[in-house]
Amino acid sequence: MTTQDNKAEEVWLLPLTDDGAPEVPSGYIYLPPPTDPPYILRFEIEGMSSICRQGSLWLNIPIPGELFRRDKYQRYELHPDFNGTIRIDIPICQAGSFAFYTTYTPLPDFSTGDVSVPNPTQTPTHYIDVSPKLTLGNTILPLDSLSVFSVVSKFMGKYPTDWEKHLKGIGRREYNMVHFTPLTERGVSNSPYSIYDQLTFDPLCFPNGEEDVANMIARMEQEYGLLGLTDVVWNHTADNSPWLEEHPEAGYNINTAPWLESALELDDALLKFGNELESYKLPTTLKNQNDLEKVMAGVKKHVIEPLKLWQYYVIDVTSNAEETVADWSQGNITVPQKGFSSGLGGLEGVKGWSLKNKADFLQENGFVGADSLESRHHRSIDSKIGAALLTVLHGRYEGITSAKDEAIKTMTDILNELNEPFYKDYDTDVEVILQQVYDRVRYLRLHGDGPKLGAIGPNSAFIESYFTRLPSNATTKKHDSKSLSLVNNGWIWAANALKDHAGPDSRAYLRREVIVWGDCVKLRYGKSPEDNPFLWEYMTKYTRLMAKYFAGFRIDNCHSTPLVVAEYLLDQARAVRPNLSVFAELFTGSEEMDYLFVKRLGLSALIREAMQAWSTQELSRLVHMHSGRPIGSIDEVFKNNTNGINGTMSFKSQRVHRIKRSPLHALFFDCTHDNEVPAQKRDARDTLPNAALVNMCASATGSVMGYDEIYPKLLDIVNEKRLYSSPSSEAIEGGGIGGIKKLMNRLHTMMGKDGYDETFVHQEGEYITVHRVHPQTRKGIFAIAHTAFPGYGSGHGLLTPVHLSGTKAKLLGSWSLEVDTSSTKALAEKKILQGLPSTLFDFQDVAIDYKADETVITVPAAFAPGSIALFETWMPHSEGLDTFITSGAQEAFCKLDLVDLNFVLYRCEAEEHDFLGGNDGVYRIPNYGTLVYAGLQGWWSIIKDVIRNNNLGHPLCHHLRQGQWALDWIVSRLERIAKAGRTSLQSATTWLAQRFDAIGKLPSFLLPRHFSLVIQTAYRASWDRAMQLMSDNIRYGQNFSQSLAMVSIQQTGYTKSASLYPNKSVPCLAAGLPHFSHSWARCWGRDVFISLRGLFLATGRYADAREHIMAFASVLKHGMIPNLLSDGKAPRYNSRDSIWFFLQNIQDYTIMVPNGSEILKEKVARRFLPCDDTYFEFDDPRAYSRESTIEEIVQEALQRHASGLSFREANAGPGLDMQMKPEGFQIDVNVDWDTGLIFGGNQFNCGTWMDKMGESEKAGNKGVPGTPRDGAAIEITGLAFSTLSWVARLHSEGKYKLGGVVTARGQSISFDEWASKIQHNFERCYYIPTDPNQDEKYDINSAIVNRRGIYKDLYKSGKEYEDYQLRANFPIAMTVAPQLFTSAKALYALGMAENILRGPTGMATLDPSDLNYRPYYNNSEDSTDFRTSKGRNYHQGPEWLWPTGFFLRALLKFDLMRRHTKEERIEAFQQITKRLHDCKKAIHESPWAGLTELTNRNGEFCGDSSPTQAWSAGCILDLFYDARELATNPNV
Residues classed as catalytic:
556, 559, 674
Q: How far is 46 from 52, CA to CA, in rounded Å?
A: 9
The three-state secondary structure class of 391 is helix
Q: How far is 584 from 592, CA to CA, in rounded Å?
A: 16
φ/ψ (deg, to 5) at 954:
-60, 145
Q: How far is 592 from 1271, CA to CA, in rounded Å?
A: 62
Q: How far is 1364 from 1351, CA to CA, in rounded Å?
A: 8
Residue 527, classified by CB atoms within 10 Å of its CB into exposed (0-12), middle (13-18) or buried (19+), is: exposed
CB-based contacts of 205: which residues, under 8 Å, 6+ apart? 153, 154, 156, 159, 163, 183, 212
Beta bridge partners, 148, equal 177, 702
Task: Tell how strand 1205-1208 and strand 1226-1232 pair up.
Answer: antiparallel
Q: How far is 1108 from 1103, CA to CA, in rounded Å?
A: 9
Beta bridge partners, 1112, equal none
Contact status, residue 1160 vs residue 1143, Cβ threshold 8 Å? no
b/e sequence 1466-1489, b meaning 16+ C-beta within 10 Å = bbbbbbbbebbbebbebbeebbbb
Residue 1230 DSSP symbol: E
Residue 300 DSSP symbol: I
Q: How far is 1484 from 1466, CA to CA, in rounded Å?
A: 26
Task: Tell how strand 867-874 and strand 780-786 pair up.
Answer: antiparallel
Contact status, residue 767 vs residue 741, Cβ threshold 8 Å? no
- Measuring CA to CA, which residue among 588, 676, 717 is closest to residue 193? 717
The three-state secondary structure class of 329 is helix
Contact status, residue 94 vs residue 68, Cβ threshold 8 Å? yes
Contact status, residue 1418 vs residue 1488, Cβ threshold 8 Å? no
Q: At what angle do helices 317-330 and 383-394 cross, to 10 degrees?
A: 60
The three-state secondary structure class of 792 is coil
Q: How far is 1106 from 1146, CA to CA, in rounded Å?
A: 9
Query: What dihedral do alpha carbons 527, 531, 535, 541 form, nearest 10°?
Result: 70
Beta bridge partners, 1165, equal 1187
Give the distance, in angstroms, between the CA of residue 393 and the centroid of all CA atoms in the same chain: 57
- Measuring CA to CA, which residue among 572, 574, 594 is closest to residue 585? 594
Q: How far is 575 from 111, CA to CA, in rounded Å?
A: 51
User: Which DSSP helix (H) or strand (E) runs through 1203?
Assistant: helix 1190-1203
Residue 610, classified by CB atoms within 10 Å of its CB into exposed (0-12), middle (13-18) or buried (19+), is: buried
Contact status, residue 111 vs residue 1471, Cβ threshold 8 Å? no
Contact status, residue 177 vs residue 551, Cβ threshold 8 Å? yes
Contact status, residue 715 vs residue 844, Cβ threshold 8 Å? no
Contact status, residue 288 vs residue 350, Cβ threshold 8 Å? no
- Measuring CA to CA, which residue among 503, 501, 467 is closest to residue 487? 467
Q: How far is 1304 from 261, CA to CA, in rounded Å?
A: 103
Q: How far is 672 from 678, CA to CA, in rounded Å?
A: 11
